[in-house]
Structure 1
Amino acid sequence: MLVTLHYTDLAVAALLLLVNGGLSMALDLGLARPLLVAALRMVVQLSLVGLVLTRLFALESPWLTLGAALVMLLFAGQETMARQERRLTGWWSYGIGTGAMGTAAGIVLLLGLSTAVRPDPWWDARYAIPMLGMVLGNAMSGVGLALHTLTATAARERAAIEAQLALGHTRWTALRPILRHALRTALMPTINSMAAMGVVALPGMMTGQILSGVDPGEAVKYQILIMFLISGATGLGVLAASLATVRRLSDRRHRLRLDRLVRRKQA
């Protein structure tokens, strides 16, 4: 049985934010304002998304579904770039992250829709958009973390990398330790999440389905499917973005090109 939530119920839950804000001010953490802004952004964005999805589901248009997916991807690319302390100059930082996430999420989503879920039609927005949101959100976090780690570490280990290049090693050999470190750092949150799921934490999708009346066994199967899709998209996206960034941080003469990096301006 689905329990309908009222705005008063949400207001009561929002009181917990006041507790967090009070703790921040008491401990001088400086997080009260960012917490308030983040909460307001979340409420506004989710409210608008709810209105858009209601209309999108009713229209049942493949082109509108594709348009919504592209908008989600473009915003994900912007968020990925914003999380990097050092980013590639020009459009490269945005283009690499967006391209890697779009390719990985597209491949994985098409696989899931065509082989496991099989909605009719296969592009049904009621299935495609929520699945894309979960896959793309996790891929965004992984790609952003990988690129941040890769570029920051390359700048920090410049002397060691150039020493390897001076000894005659290729750019791939010289940058391999940094690449491996970035890949491990980016993939570890997904691995930890899967390892703790079920025993330590009940994931949001599964909990939402159970609260809406879906049989727990069926909700578990959907959650397992989504986690496989998320891990696949994150792995593919992280690998593609990292390899492209390594290639951009060097040239055909196997020289390190840190001049192609720019530090993010501090607010």
Structure 2
Amino acid sequence: MSGTNDMQVFLTYGDIALAGSLILIVLVVSWQLRLRLTKTLLTAAIRTIVQLSFVGLILAWVFAREQWYEVLIILTIMTLIASSAAKNRVKRSYKGLLADTLLAVSTSAILVTAIAILAILRVTPWYTPQFIIPILGLILGNSLTAISLTSNQLVESFHQQQSRIEMMLSLSAKPFEAVHEQIRAAIINGMTPTLNSMLVVGIVSLPGMMTGQILAGADPTQAVRYQIITMFLICVSSTLGCTISALLIYRRFFNKNSQFILPE
């Protein structure tokens, strides 16, 4: 590992190998406690190296060319993968779940990213890959977690509390009134990780984006400002995504006659 006079550190493959050797500690713990995670840990470590190296090559190529259509292709792929990941975390699937998840993820993430790029950062041109790809990636990563938590709990609660919901409907409750508590609890569950992060950021933890900028030699005050903006963007995107997802799922469980149903 070598450094320059301004303390910016440049990592070598040897540094990566040294950091990778620390995984041996995890493997030893797994073996001693019989966690049966050896294969999973090795697979995760290898995939981390391969996937990030591959992404690094692609981003370096895209950053050098700065073509809007190439940036859009990458953004589309990122959104599709995030939607699929969120959908796969829902234990009780139903027909149309992928479409609902895709709509919730894409609408919330793209809207918030557009506001960040055009109104807050005022990036010109808007498709500058250095800004739009990392920002969308951060938002998607957090949004898919929030949306999957909301979707999973809401679908599960609809199945488990079918009798209660039908009873409320029989007592003249409107569909939304009958499931309001389930929707409320699901959205809160999806928002909890984001809110917890905001409550302790800068005190208990230093977020990855801020830490990465500081390690790369950026001004700490600027790194903090970027992190504040990012946290707000993630919060808004997660809230929108959870709300959209909950409303879309709610519609799937009621027919045109306002009767509660379990979708296929």
- Name the structure 1 match of 2:171: 167
SS in 1 for 2:172: coil
- Name the structure 2 match of 1:222: 226
Q: Does 1:34 align with 2:27?
A: no
Q: Does 1:233 align with 2:237?
A: yes
- Name the structure 2 match of 1:84: 90
Q: Does 1:203 align with 2:219?
A: no
- Taking a change above 3 Å as real, the CA distance of residues 245 and 259 of structure 1, as seen in their structure-2 partners, is closer
TM-score by length of 2: 0.94
Q: Does 1:101 align with 2:105?
A: yes
- Name the structure 2 match of 1:256: 260
- Taking a change above 3 Å as real, the CA distance of residues 24 and 256 of structure 1, as seen in their structure-2 partners, is farther
- Name the structure 2 match of 1:186: 190
SS in 2 for 1:219: helix
Post-superposition Cα deviations, 1:93-124, rounded to whole Å, max 9, x if no partner, equal 11111111111111111111112212221220
Post-superposition Cα deviations, 1:138-167, rounded to whole Å, max 9, x if no partner, equal 111111111011111111112211211222
Larger mean Cα displacement after TM superposition, 159-168 or 176-185: 159-168
Q: CA deviation at 1:88?
A: 1.7
- Name the structure 1 match of 2:70: 64
Q: CA deviation at 1:62?
A: 0.8
1:111 to 110, 115, 140: 115
- Taking a change above 3 Å as real, the CA distance of residues 36 and 117 of structure 1, as seen in their structure-2 partners, is same
- Name the structure 1 match of 2:140: 136
**Tell me, which stretches of 5 or more residues in structure 2 are unaligned?**
1-6
**Tell me, which stretches of 5 or more residues in structure 1 are unaligned?**
261-267
Distance (whole Å) between structure 2 residues aligned to residue 145 and residue 131 of structure 1: 22
- Name the structure 1 match of 2:4: none
Distance (whole Å) between structure 1 residues aligned to residue 8 and residue 235 of structure 2: 30
Post-superposition Cα deviations, 1:48-100, rounded to whole Å, max 9, x if no partner, equal 110010010111111111111000001011101111111122xx111111111
Q: Does 1:153 align with 2:157?
A: yes
Distance (whole Å) between structure 2 residues aligned to residue 23 and residue 254 of structure 1: 54
Q: CA deviation at 1:28?
A: 2.3
Identity %: 36
The aligned amino acid for 2:202 is G
Distance (whole Å) between structure 2 residues aligned to residue 32 and residue 152 of structure 1: 32
Q: CA deviation at 1:221?
A: 0.3
Q: CA deviation at 1:129?
A: 0.3
Post-superposition Cα deviations, 1:166-201, rounded to whole Å, max 9, x if no partner, equal 222222111111101100000011000011000100
- Name the structure 1 match of 2:16: 10
- Taking a change above 3 Å as real, the CA distance of residues 162 and 28 of structure 1, as seen in their structure-2 partners, is farther
Distance (whole Å) between structure 1 residues aligned to residue 22 and residue 163 of structure 2: 48
- Name the structure 1 match of 2:247: 243
SS in 2 for 1:87: coil
* Count of aligned residue pairs for this structure pair: 258
- Name the structure 1 match of 2:49: 43
The aligned amino acid for 2:69 is W
Q: CA deviation at 1:256?
A: 2.1
The aligned amino acid for 2:10 is T
